[in-house]
Structure 1
Amino acid sequence: MKRIFGLVCVFMLFSSSLHAVAEEKSAKQSYDYTNSEFKATVDMLYMDGHSNDDLASCQVKQEYYQDVGGMFFDKGMSKDEILDYYKNELGVFAVNAPPGKGFNLVLWVLPFLLIFIMFIIIYYVVKRWKRNQFEAPVEEQTYSNELDDVYASMIEEERKKFV
């Protein structure tokens, strides 16, 4: 019985020392999340849709912060190296803003190009409407001189009645 009690005590002592080592290891991995370069790097990551979540309550965001912190602080990787790593692992969808080259460049430029083309079309349509508006009264004012003479004579007769 004494041997079993002794083995249990040794086992408990050993397991508690492992727990202490694990705590010490996790305490070592608390990084400075206020570093501006670190924040700029982390803000560019999409984080599987959790980039707008609260860090204190989102487990996925905490894991991303730990991974990026390990790369940034422990391994000394730069911002571009970290972003390239995630792009290679997860594709261009790993970052919030896709790179501006290739097909992605078309997606960046196309909305502005379409807006510009619509303004040009609207400009020419309005210009045509204005041109047609000024031409219409000119056509309506072309009366025959005979009709003017008839009206003038009618007005003169009515005027003579009252004078």
Structure 2
Amino acid sequence: MKPKSVKFIFLPALLLFSTALHAFSARDIEEQIMCICKDNCGKVLVNCTCDTSTVYRKEISAMIAEGKTQKEIIDHYLARFGEKVLAAPTKKGFNLAAWIIPFLAIFAGGWGINKIVQSWVGKRKAKIITEGQKEEAAKAGDSVENQYKKLMEEELKELD
């Protein structure tokens, strides 16, 4: 391969990937930052309409114009306000619990409901007349209907 053809292939690829790395908008950053205003609106900056959010938007646009990266801008706000400025907790350390615990709670709740339903079904199955009991009732001269009536009476007594 000739050196010119190598340049011809790699130069566009380099330009393509370098723009992809730096391609972000102010909106991308606003979606990751909470509005820290005196009203404590608790909204993500992109959705907030208060006066303070306008100031932050201008700051973000100015930082982008200066050539700062998305990480540098977010780090600036982290240093200024702390982790409360982030729209989502970081996935490190104790904050990892905020990502894991909801899924564990859902799993544990489902498991608990499953166990409760199994115990209810197990108790109910114990009272259902089996085929062997039907045969015994037939030999004793007792009909299956009478056995079910007895079972129903027992259950009604338990409810009283």
* TM-score computed with the length of structure 1 as normaliser: 0.58
Which digits, 9 at most, give the CA deviation of each residue in 1:16-69, with x for residues without a partner?
xxxxxxxxxxxxxxxxxxx95221012211121353333xxx321111011111
Number of matched pairs? 111
- Counterparts of 1:33-112 in structure 2, within 5 Å, are 37-48=25-36, 49=41, 51=45, 52-54=47-49, 58-74=50-66, 76-112=67-103
Q: AA paired with 1:47?
A: C
Mapped partners of 2:61, 2:53: distance in 1: 12
Structure 1 residue runs of 4 or more that deviate by more than 2 Å after TM superposition: 49-54
Q: Which of these residues, 102, 112, 126, is aligned with residue 121 of structure 1?
A: 112
Report the secondary structure of 1:98's partner residue.
Answer: coil
CA distance in 2, matches of 1:137, 1:95: 58
Structure 2: tracts of 5 or more residues without a match: 1-22, 144-160
Structure showing greater radius of gyration is 1
RMSD, aligned CA: 2.8
For residues 54 and 93 of structure 2, the distance between their equivalents in structure 1, rounded to whole angstroms, comes to 33
Gaps of at least 5 residues in structure 1 are: 1-34, 153-163
Q: 1:96 aligns to what SS in structure 2? A: coil
Letter in 2 for 1:40: D
